Structure 1
Amino acid sequence: MSDEILLPRPSGDLLRYRVPEPPSWPAPAGPARSRTVFAAAHVVADPARAHRPGAPAALDWEATLAFRQHLWSLGLGVADAMDTAQRGMGLDWATTRELITRSGAAARACGGRLACGAGTDQLTAAAPGLNEIVEAYQEQVEVVEAAGAQVILMASRALAATAAGPEDYAEVYGRLLAGTERPAVLHWLGTPFDPALEGYWGSADLDEAAALVLEIIRDNAAKVDGIKVSLLDADREIALRRALPEGIKMYTGDDFHYPELILGDDRGFSHALLGVFDPLAGHAAAALDALDRGNTAAYRAILEPTVPLARHIFTAPTRHYKTGVVLLAHLAGHQDHFTMVGGEQDSRDLVHLAEVFRLAGEAGALPDPDLATTRMRALLASRGVAG
């Protein structure tokens, strides 16, 4: 049993806490059969380099790729170069391009499933024209396809700033999908994750936006594998899922309601592309194995206790969820430090991080309680709290 640790609380007092022993599950025989599941993976910063907002990203490539091997070893697909990897929050395009190339080589070497985000973040103009946006997307699509990965067409801040209405979105996505080598995944990232995407798909009315998404998918169905929806609105995701053309997958990006959305109902279910499956990879693999065997009780018993942790990691401002994800990677032993690209480790306060630690313990997401306690105590001490 691990030692007790004193954790700061919002009230200003300290909570005595001891990490319980985590559950253990047998390694899955392979990828899930009943669902297609990707964990959106974080990147590991090089702790010996400068990390501040606006500085070029510097990664520890060995640790970054080792974490992807960890995800593949559990039978999960890896979604790389997504917002979990700090796209638009410190990870510049030059480093992203290298990440995609390196991850592609690693995936080929082990037979792992890989999908990567293609966007427009290399653009520097405040409001580029539609042709420039398409060309920027195409440049990134070419890099993803050259790496042997599936394309995820990420939501574009540049397109949100430039598009005059729904017809511009239809034109851009139509042109992009016509040029992809194999079916791509669309990505609807809601404003909780990125306020700059307000009005994406040409309308701030989400019903109107959903209608356009469906129109784009129907018009390009042969080139669309599915759509990842990250709106944190389970009812809206279900409604869109039920309206999708046959054969088009719904990939849930809802880090609040994932157990119920993946399980589904008698009218369908969601596949998954989730940032929360980065720190919960073991839980995800075990739950999906139970689901494949038809044991929904075991599936629920594994995943439902993780929801309080997920909701806390993704609490507003939601875009800073990566800090909790990387903290858990450090506490679990996947990286030796708590340093992030862009200095993002400082975006959450110590009380928030202490609660991440406690909820991770309760969820069974700290595989080595002694290591996690030692590292959390060191983090507290570095910020002036005797844990």
Structure 2
Amino acid sequence: MGSFTLLDGDGATRSVAIAPAPQIRRPDGPLVTRTAYAAAHVVPLSWADNTPGRPAEIDWDATLAFRRHVYSWGLGVADAMDTAQRNMGLDAAATRELIARSAQTAREEGADVVVGVNTDHIEDASLTLAQIVDAYKSQLHFAEEQGAGPVMMASRHLARAAATAEDYRSVYREVLTSATRPVVLHWLGTAFDPQLAGYFTGDANDGWRAAADVLLEVIEENAAHVAGVKMSLLNAESEVAVRERLPEGVRMFTGDDFNYVGLIGGADVPSATQPGRSETARLQHSDALLGAFAAVAPVASAAIQALDAGDSDKYLALLGPTEELSRQIFAAPTFYYKTGVAFLAWLNGHQPAFQMVGGLHSARSLPSLSRIVELANAANALERPDLATKRWHGLLALNGIGR
């Protein structure tokens, strides 16, 4: 199969053997034991002005084809969220069009899509709590009109305006009671967005336990309107602690791109580590809503198929190696993880160029991308190794690095 040339941080190069193309089968029917959404990215037009501060110009054919790729593996799509560069280049008009187009694609495929709702279409940095409620409702109702499941994202406006936990409870209460279908709540940690410090309590000095108490109060008060909660704190202990306290009918969707193997495996995979798990808790595993799954959709599907078949060893053998890859993609500064997701999509032939909205393809160094190549090769995440080899070596050559 030949070899990859890899680039280390000191400029030295080395070679690793190229693994053969993974022999992974698409599922014959729906995945059963876990619900899993891949948080998908967007592909810009390669010739567009993809520079910082410019409106997003999306390659809709490639963007929607990627979603069909995800659906073909039995996964759902989580759209118009941070993986799609929301608040990092995807402007309000493009977000709205993405939701409408993605929802239509899901209907055509008979597939499941959830989309982010936020307050970010309002450019004014400072809003009152009442204005924040109205902004949330506007996006919520638009998502519902498109037939997409809503994910209530953490709002930077609310993080700035809320002084107390009651401020958060009141905003969530008013928004959730206006929903016509159950909503997934999204708790995004500061590793992903530093502007969300103090979310749910109003005090940036409060830890996750205090914030978790408020979140659970919000869920319990509005349980009829809450389908689940997605936690993205990169802290397995916090997720398990909240998961074990969720009311009946409310699901935990892991957004932990560092620890998802154990969290999704849960009690069905006894050897998977999961800090703080109680063997008597009602919920013994997390479902998934992960940016990482956009990068490794075929492997993620195969791993869940293994769980469906009761084969926990195969689940670990398949999904386990992807976690090191995900940790590299989501390495600090974590909010630049979108670059790694788009990079892998390009290597795997899902977009014509390594381009991103807002020029974000420059947000990771060549040695960082090289490590992604190495780990993706080891995790069977390169769908077409021959194409990946050609594209990666071409990128090295473009940057003056010969084989």
Contact (CA 8 Å) 1:22, 1:364: kept in 2 or not?
A: yes
CA RMSD of aligned residues (A): 1.0
Q: Quick check: 197-206 or 271-280, which moved more?
A: 197-206
Contact (CA 8 Å) 1:45, 1:341: kept in 2 or not?
A: yes
**Partner residue in 2 for 1:136:** 135
Q: Residue type matched to 2:61 in 1?
A: E
Residue 373 (structure 1) aligned to one of 375, 386, 389? 389
Q: Residue type matched to 1:163 in 2?
A: A
1:201-350 correspondence to structure 2 within 5 Å: 201-202=200-201, 203=203, 204-265=206-267, 266=279, 267=281, 268-350=284-366
SS of the residue aligned with 2:381? Answer: coil
After TM superposition, the runs of 4+ consecutive aligned structure 1 residues lying more than 2 A away are 3-6
Q: State the Cα distance separating 1:325 from its structure 2 match.
A: 0.4
For 1:164 and 1:47, the matched residues in 2 are separated by 43
**Partner residue in 2 for 1:75:** 74
For 2:374 and 2:25, the matched residues in 1 are separated by 25
String of CA shifts for 1:228-260, please: whole Å, max 9, x gaps. 000000011101100111111000000011110
For 2:228 and 2:38, the matched residues in 1 are separated by 16
For 1:306 and 1:242, the matched residues in 2 are separated by 26
**Partner residue in 1 for 2:119:** 120
For 2:139 and 2:66, the matched residues in 1 are separated by 23
Q: State the Cα distance separating 1:26 from its structure 2 match.
A: 1.9
For 1:138 and 1:127, the matched residues in 2 are separated by 17
Q: State the Cα distance separating 1:366 from its structure 2 match.
A: 0.6
String of CA shifts for 1:111-132, please: whole Å, max 9, x gaps. 1100000001111222211111
Q: Residue type matched to 2:41 in 1?
A: H
Q: Residue type matched to 2:362 in 1?
A: D
Contact (CA 8 Å) 1:19, 1:358: kept in 2 or not?
A: no
Q: Residue type matched to 1:247 in 2?
A: G
Q: Residue type matched to 1:361 in 2?
A: N
Q: State the Cα distance separating 1:12 from its structure 2 match.
A: 2.4
Q: Residue type matched to 2:175 in 1?
A: L
**Partner residue in 1 for 2:153:** 154
Q: State the Cα distance separating 1:330 from its structure 2 match.
A: 0.4
SS of the residue aligned with 1:348? Answer: coil
Contact (CA 8 Å) 1:259, 1:300: kept in 2 or not?
A: yes
Q: State the Cα distance separating 1:17 from its structure 2 match.
A: 2.3
For 2:33 and 2:43, the matched residues in 1 are separated by 31
For 1:311 and 1:191, the matched residues in 2 are separated by 16
For 2:172 and 2:298, the matched residues in 1 are separated by 35
Contact (CA 8 Å) 1:22, 1:361: kept in 2 or not?
A: no
For 2:3 and 2:230, the matched residues in 1 are separated by 41
Please, what TM-score do these two structures have when normalized by structure 1? 0.98
**Alignment partner of 1:359 is 2:359:** no
Q: State the Cα distance separating 1:165 from its structure 2 match.
A: 1.0
Contact (CA 8 Å) 1:173, 1:216: kept in 2 or not?
A: yes
**Alignment partner of 1:23 is 2:22:** yes
For 1:68 and 1:219, the matched residues in 2 are separated by 35
Percent identity over the alignment? 49
For 1:125 and 1:104, the matched residues in 2 are separated by 28
Contact (CA 8 Å) 2:200, 2:215: kept in 1 or not?
A: yes
For 2:142 and 2:395, the matched residues in 1 are separated by 38
Contact (CA 8 Å) 1:31, 1:74: kept in 2 or not?
A: no
Contact (CA 8 Å) 1:89, 1:342: kept in 2 or not?
A: yes
Q: Residue type matched to 2:348 in 1?
A: A
For 1:322 and 1:39, the matched residues in 2 are separated by 13
Q: Residue type matched to 1:92 in 2?
A: D
For 2:4 and 2:317, the matched residues in 1 are separated by 27
For 1:384 and 1:149, the matched residues in 2 are separated by 46
Please, what TM-score do these two structures have when normalized by structure 2? 0.94
Contact (CA 8 Å) 2:87, 2:120: kept in 1 or not?
A: yes
What stretches of structure 2 of length at least 5 have no aligned partner?
A: 268-278
1:90-129 correspondence to structure 2 within 5 Å: 90-129=89-128
Contact (CA 8 Å) 2:22, 2:382: kept in 1 or not?
A: no
**Partner residue in 1 for 2:271:** none
String of CA shifts for 1:237-285, please: whole Å, max 9, x gaps. 1011001111110000000111100011243110100000001100111
Q: Residue type matched to 2:13 in 1?
A: L
1:158-169 correspondence to structure 2 within 5 Å: 158-169=157-168
Contact (CA 8 Å) 2:159, 2:199: kept in 1 or not?
A: yes
